Structure 1
Amino acid sequence: MTSPDVDLLDTRRLHQFVVAVESETLSAAAQQLFLTQQALSASIRQLEREVDVTLFDRSRRKLHLTDAGNTLYAGARALLAGNTSLLTEVRESARGIVRPFVVGHSPAISGEEVYHLIAPAIASMPHQPITARQVFPGQLQELLFANEIDVALRRGVDSPANLTSAVFAYHELRIAVVADHLLAHRRSITARDLADTPIVVWAPERKSFYTDFLISYCRRAGFEPTLVVNQIQGTPPFTAVRRYPEACAFVTDVPGDLQGGTVRVLAFDEPPLAPVQAMWLPHTHSAVRDAMVSGGGG
């Protein structure tokens, strides 16, 4: 039982605080919340009294967060999203509703790979509906905060702010080229073999962990890669070489011919291993997610 001396945040005031921070003006925030500006100001001051710190620097014409305010805002969105998720789960449980568990994944992880990653959850909970949804990497965190996806999968290792994450699988990378490419006849290749071949990526350097991972792999092999940013999103990575036949693309498909022999996948002598990271809201529980992560991708 919770001690009566434990301080608890008022989530309604916390929500109002977040809206105030994200709005252009306090007046705009009040309008969005269907409050008067005076009522919103009073709510924020009450929140400051509850946490016993000053959240806004009011010495300027526009409101600016203090260091304490920034700290509260940094954790507030995840806390509110977790609160909404729990409330939804409780209400659905009371009604006997089994909601689909939604897995959001970046284009760098194929639908086939997603199925392999969720296989442990399918095996342990065969009656649980699961939906896989491909989204752009930059949207994953926002969709988690909006409770539109339950777990996000991407190529990455860095710990995102205000989310819980785990690297739970590694995929062996290979190279796709068109059938008449200079490298297509090789049984296997090394990283150095790519020195004179452009590499297709789906985001520029420093805009994607996966792109930076591939660049680092090439630089460790002793050359600076030439990148081609693919403008076609959402299709299997190996199809990129049909659009850019002079280039190659890192893929996870098995070695051999694809698309009627028009594309060939080659294995590395020493293949790089690309991590798969799962991200989710902190303070939330999910048997499906636990089965995925503990299963290590099957």
Structure 2
Amino acid sequence: MLPVPDLRRLTHFIAVAESAGFTSAATQLHLSQQALSHSVQQLEKEIGVTLLVRSGRRVTLTAAGATLLEEGRAVLAAARTLTAHTRAAASAQRDEFVIGHSPAISNHAVYALIEAAIAASPDTSFTIVQLFPDRLTAGVRDGAVQLGLRRAVVPQELLAGAVIGYDPLRVAVPADHPLAARSRIRIADLADELIALWAPPGASYYSDFLVNACRRAGFEPQYRVSRVQGCPPEVAALTENAVAFVTAPAGPALDGTVAVVDLDEPLLVPIQALWQPHTSSAVRNLILRRRT
């Protein structure tokens, strides 16, 4: 049987690796450098590999050390989640399940995904928070967010994930826009329009998805990053005086100030769920079973 690393020593090693040395890591951990160095050496003996190359006051990671750093973070996060779940089970308080979602997914869409899980989990409180993709993945990694939801399908190292649904894209335009009177439009009809995005291309896989859809239609889109975040995506049609890709139903929106129009050729965008590996959750399982 392979040896299992001691979590305390693993914490010490990660602190040293992230600090690139023992001095600041020892201060952070309130340990002497000698005690910290001994702890890491014991971890190396425990696993049977060299993790660090020491050069004066600085250290560099071996290939084995780099692997342990990345995967060890996930193990520590899972251990913290385990502790939280165990304490919750011993208390009279309700379990809390935190769901984070990117700005590209509306609160209405999130509720539709979790409605059945809410009904089936009367002893659980649910909190839904909107987070930008980088904060979303960081929250899932450290256990602050139990389930992350984002657009597009993006491999996430050290996170578990699955596509749990697809939504048809439509286009939102101001109600007085010439395209508002159409029953259907083509993406190619947007070639001369300003398109609202929620993040710059290259910084958001959803933005990349939308830009590539325009390129497939034969044009390089003109775009502006929306200056209003956290509201329904249709709002961007007003605040940016632009067209916006949305998943809201076709028809009037925002008290008739915006029109949502179907695309002539359906374009489906996925919802990707992300969660912390090495953990289990009955509530999460209920949500994932909704996968379409």
TM-score (norm 1): 0.94
Which residue of the partner structure matches residue 200 of structure 1? 196
CA distance in 1, matches of 2:251, 2:4: 59
Which residue of the partner structure matches residue 75 of structure 1? 71
The CA deviation string for residues 195-245 of structure 1, in whole angstroms up to 9 with x for no partner, is 111111011111111001101111111111111111222111111121221
Which residue of the partner structure matches residue 188 of structure 1? 184
Q: Which amino acid aligns with 1:189?
A: I
CA distance in 1, matches of 2:122, 2:282: 12
CA distance in 2, matches of 1:284, 1:243: 41
Which residue of the partner structure matches residue 157 of structure 2? 161
CA distance in 1, matches of 2:46, 2:146: 31
Picking from 251, 261, 267, the partner of 2:256 is 261
Q: How many residues align?
A: 292
1:22-33 pair list within 5 angstroms: 22-23=18-19, 25-33=21-29
User: Structure 1's 156 and 21: CA in aligned 2 closer, same or farther, altered over 3 A?
Assistant: farther
Which residue of the partner structure matches residue 250 of structure 1? 245
TM-score (norm 2): 0.96
Q: Which amino acid aligns with 1:185?
A: A
Which residue of the partner structure matches residue 284 of structure 1? 279
Which residue of the partner structure matches residue 38 of structure 1? 34
Residue 55 of structure 1 deviates from its aligned partner by 1.0
Q: Which moved more, 1:53-62 or 1:39-48?
A: 53-62
CA distance in 2, matches of 1:180, 1:203: 26
CA distance in 2, matches of 1:215, 1:113: 22
Report runs of 4+ in structure 1 exceeding 4 Å deviation: none
Picking from 287, 290, 293, the partner of 2:288 is 293
1:50-89 pair list within 5 angstroms: 50-59=46-55, 62-89=58-85
Q: Which moved more, 1:189-198 or 1:140-149?
A: 140-149
Picking from 94, 102, 113, the partner of 1:98 is 94
Residue 15 of structure 1 deviates from its aligned partner by 1.0
Residue 265 of structure 1 deviates from its aligned partner by 0.7
1:124-135 pair list within 5 angstroms: 124-135=120-131
CA distance in 1, matches of 2:93, 2:76: 22
CA distance in 1, matches of 2:260, 2:170: 7
Structure 2: runs of 5+ lacking an equivalent: none
Structure 1: runs of 5+ lacking an equivalent: none
Greater strand content: 2
Picking from 116, 119, 139, the partner of 1:120 is 116
Q: Which amino acid aligns with 1:254?
A: P
Q: Which moved more, 1:122-131 or 1:62-71?
A: 122-131
Residue 6 of structure 1 deviates from its aligned partner by 3.9
Which residue of the partner structure matches residue 267 of structure 2? 272
Which residue of the partner structure matches residue 143 of structure 1? 139
CA contact (8 A) 2:160 2:277 kept: yes
- CA RMSD of the aligned region, Å? 1.5
The CA deviation string for residues 71-127 of structure 1, in whole angstroms up to 9 with x for no partner, is 111101111111111122112212243221110111111100000010221232233
Q: Which moved more, 1:276-285 or 1:135-144?
A: 135-144
Residue 41 of structure 1 deviates from its aligned partner by 1.2
Identity %: 46
Which residue of the partner structure matches residue 218 of structure 1? 214
Q: SS at 2:69's partner residue?
A: helix
Residue 26 of structure 1 deviates from its aligned partner by 2.0
Residue 31 of structure 1 deviates from its aligned partner by 0.9
CA contact (8 A) 2:78 2:277 kept: yes
User: Within the alignment, does 1:209 sit opposite 2:198 as a pair?
Assistant: no
